[in-house]
Amino acid sequence: MKIGLGQAEGSDTALVTDTIISTCREQIGADQPKAGLVFAGPHFDHVVMLEKICSAFPGMVLVGCTTSGDYTSAYGFSDDSISLIVICASELEFGAGLGRNLSLDYRCAVEVAYSMARGTLQDDPSLCLAFPRSRCYARAASRLSQYKAGSGMSGFRRSRREAPDRQHGDLPVLQP
């Protein structure tokens, strides 16, 4: 197994994303990652970031969320960065799912996300990672307790331009 870890700060989404991709590539060489986790501050252009990551690592299962801050052993803490962890492991398989409208029906959202992720796997999952938004965390966590699950809250600093309902809605669970 190989792990690539990149974290960078800046205001130019394309440049910051290129930097983290390059850092990960240096660490994994020619190996193709099967899964990735991405965490990004709210001010980045997430469409540009995701397009670049998916283009650099085609076929990789990718999940993540916006954050109010993140930490890596290589870079430290930042509340203004993008962090990418890529995993190369021939002996492991990864799936991803997305449960929508968590705040309206958390039971259904968790089941849909889990089923979607489980549907791509040959064996029973041994770990489920979930990133519910903070207002819905307790509901999602209670439902996820039936699985071997780890979780963290996604977050972002709300600006005046952001719609109030962006704080709750979807539950990403480990999407190509």
Among the listed ranges 4-18, 33-47, 74-88, 119-133, which one has the minimum average pLDDT value? 119-133
- Reply yes or no on domain 2-88 having CATH 3.40.50.1370: no
DSSP-assigned beta bridge partners for residue 39: 65, 83
Hey, where are the domains in the chain?
2-88, 97-173
80-104 confidence digits (pLDDT tens): 889 999 999 988 888 888 878 777 8
Q: What is the largest distance, in Å, between two alpha-carbon atoms of the chain?
A: 46
Q: Could you give phi then psi for residue 129, rounded to 5 degrees?
A: -110, 135
- Rounded CA gap, 73 and 23, in Å? 14
Q: Could you give phi then psi for residue 6, rounded to 5 degrees?
A: -130, 140
Residue 162 CB neighbour total at 10 angstroms = 12
